[in-house]
Structure 1
Amino acid sequence: MERDQVSGRWVHVHEEDTDDQMVFRPAGTPLPPARGRMAFDLRPDGTFAESGLGAADAPEEATGTWAVDGDTVRLSAGAAQGVPRELRVVTADAERLVVRRGGAG
């Protein structure tokens, strides 16, 4: 997998999740209202920003670096809740990013 296949800002669409997969859509995709959607931005320069609900149920943002290792996107430590540190990619295209729950295991 190449970096450009997963670069961009992705928003979690929990409504489309399955028991073993998490689904993300590009930012700007029309989605139903939901409290505390997590999102992350995989930038082409190898940095990322993420947002989600923090420990106090308030939006929390964090930044770090990311890299592709085979079919896995690895994120450095971050503060936001919910975005896995390892995203094992099942599908990546312009419409959806699907990752296996439980990281690269």
Structure 2
Amino acid sequence: MGGPVDTRLLCQSWLRSPQEDSDTEEVYRPAGFAFPRRERSRAGYRFDADGTVRRVGAGATDVPEVTTGVWQVDDEDPQGVRIVVGGSPQLLEIADLTPDRLAIRRPPSTDPG
């Protein structure tokens, strides 16, 4: 990505596009994106300019489950976004951010083999 996170681009609803994922990145598209049809709900994030983040995941009955937290650009890594949802802190490393694509780096695998 190169520079700091453009918060104007980040502040919207992003839904996971797993068919575009790679070994190193998870890909998200804006909520209005023309996704291929799928039977299950999509996970995602909603970043608001006031520092609120909503993480959307599939609940037990495949009904979206929304958890609210806070976010901010990381002080030490301008390409990182720190979120705290449900009391759990997490650093999202932004690999790519354009108006229609958000790519988050996957953490390195700790599986020895």
Q: After TM superposition, is the score higher than 0.5?
A: yes
- Can you give the 5+ residue segments of structure 2 that lack an aligned partner in the other structure? 109-113
Overall identity of the aligned pairs, in %:
35
Partner of 1:33: 37
Q: Distance in 1 between matches of 2:86 and 2:13?
A: 16
Aligned length: 98
Please tell me the residue identity of whatever aligns with 2:53: F
Which one of 2, 5, 9 corresponds to residue 5 of structure 1? 9
Which stretches in structure 1 are left out of the alignment for 5+ residues?
A: none
Provide the TM-score with structure 2 as the length reference: 0.77
Structure with the greater alpha carbon radius of gyration: 2
1:86 aligns with 2:91: yes
| CA–CA separation in structure 1 for the residues paired with 2:33 and 2:9 | 17
Q: RMSD of aligned C-alpha atoms?
A: 2.0
Following superposition, the deviation at residue 87 of structure 1 comes to 1.1
> Of the candidates 58, 83, 88, which is equivalent to residue 75 of structure 1?
83
Q: What SS class does the counterpart of residue 15 from structure 1 fall into?
A: helix
Q: What TM-score does the superposition give when structure 1 sets the normalisation length? A: 0.82
Distance between the aligned counterparts of 1:63 and 1:23, measured in 2?
21
Moved over 6 A (4+): none
Corresponding residue of 1:102: 107
1:1-38 alpha-carbon deviations (Å, 9 max, x no partner): 23223211101000000011010111100101231310
Partner Cα distance (1:85, 1:78) in 2: 11
